[in-house]
Structure 1
Amino acid sequence: MSITLRQAVDADAGFAAVCVAAAYAQWIPLIGRKPGPMLEDYHTVIATNQVLIAELGGQPVGLLVTRQTDEGFLLDNIAVLPECAGQGIGRLLLVRAEEEASRQGYQSLYLYTNERMIENIELYARIGYREYARRQENGFRRVYMRKQLG
């Protein structure tokens, strides 16, 4: 089955919340609370950001949230249902974020993750993201990383 991407609509908010909750649940014990993406209202996220839904066999299995900020093009969230992990969905969403940043004229894109999510930091470093800041925001200690686009 092939993975397809489509723009999210308001009716996808329920799936988005479920997908994010499932994808991020593993981090709650590590950081001692729900990660930031689990606290979002996905009706608002879909209305105010660029959100893509990944589908496999016509069923939603993941999402990508991006937006423009004062710091540049933000890869705000990637989430894939845990039962669909390892099928290239997350990688496809990462590539799409980079393509979209380039298409919109950006030379780089950035993201942030919790400083305790070492596996994520290592993954992003392996694919070209470099740490440029650490910040305390909304009670979270975040590592900011940027990737230059070629």
Structure 2
Amino acid sequence: MDDHLEPAVRAATAADVAAVRAVTDAAYHPYIARIGVVPQPMEADHMADIAAGRVFVTGEPVAGLVVVSAFPDHLFLDSVAVHPDTHGRGVGRRLLHFVEARARALGLPEIRLYTNALMWENQAIYPRYGYELVGRRVDGPYDRLHYRKTLSR
């Protein structure tokens, strides 16, 4: 592979389940102590999400992934996970750009996501990519900040 080409983002397959679990756990595990509960992505049914075509991965081995769901009026970004060993290498940027391209390809006008209010790193990242804070809601043990990005036509 040419060193100047970024690894593609591709649909995850059943063979990726262990890697998806490992990257998700590595990415979210540091937040357990801070937020006081296991982050929802760590409890996801990765096999079911992959089978439903909701999981996209990048890297070989897998360095990062996104979990998305298409709705009639938006693409919901359920999870972004980047392995800590690959921080600073553009994996998260590549994944966020993929999510935007995916929404456009599906003809959806916006992307929505939420993040835990105590995951303050995300509050710095998402606005840099054009996401605006639109609300805050508590859902059980989760205090969530809701963001959206409206895509230009």
- Taking structure 2 as the reference length, the TM-score comes to 0.89
8 Å CA contact 1:80–1:90 kept in 2: the answer is yes
Q: Offset of 1:108 from its aligned partner?
A: 1.2
Among 29, 45, 49, the alignment partner of 1:45 is 49
Give the letter aligned to residue 110 of structure 2: S
The corresponding residue for 1:4 is 8
Q: Is residue 2:40 matched to residue 1:36?
A: yes
8 Å CA contact 2:11–2:56 kept in 1: the answer is yes
35-44 or 2-11, larger mean C-alpha shift? 2-11
Q: 1:70 to 1:117 in 2, by over 3 A?
A: farther
Q: 1:132 to 1:70 in 2, by over 3 A?
A: farther
3-12 or 34-43, larger mean C-alpha shift? 3-12
The corresponding residue for 1:93 is 95
8 Å CA contact 2:73–2:108 kept in 1: the answer is no
76-85 or 65-74, larger mean C-alpha shift? 65-74
Among 81, 84, 89, the alignment partner of 1:82 is 84
Among 141, 146, 149, the alignment partner of 2:148 is 146
- Taking structure 1 as the reference length, the TM-score comes to 0.91
Give the letter aligned to residue 43 of structure 1: M
User: Would you tell me which structure has more strand in proportion to its own residues?
Assistant: 1
**Count of aligned pairs between the two proteins:** 148
Output the CA distance in 1 between the equivalents of 2:135 and 2:53: 23
* Superposed CA RMSD: 1.5
Q: What residue ranges of structure 1 are gaps of 5+ in the alignment? A: none
Sequence identity (%): 34
Give the letter aligned to residue 36 of structure 1: Q
8 Å CA contact 2:73–2:110 kept in 1: the answer is no
Q: What residue ranges of structure 2 are gaps of 5+ in the alignment? A: none
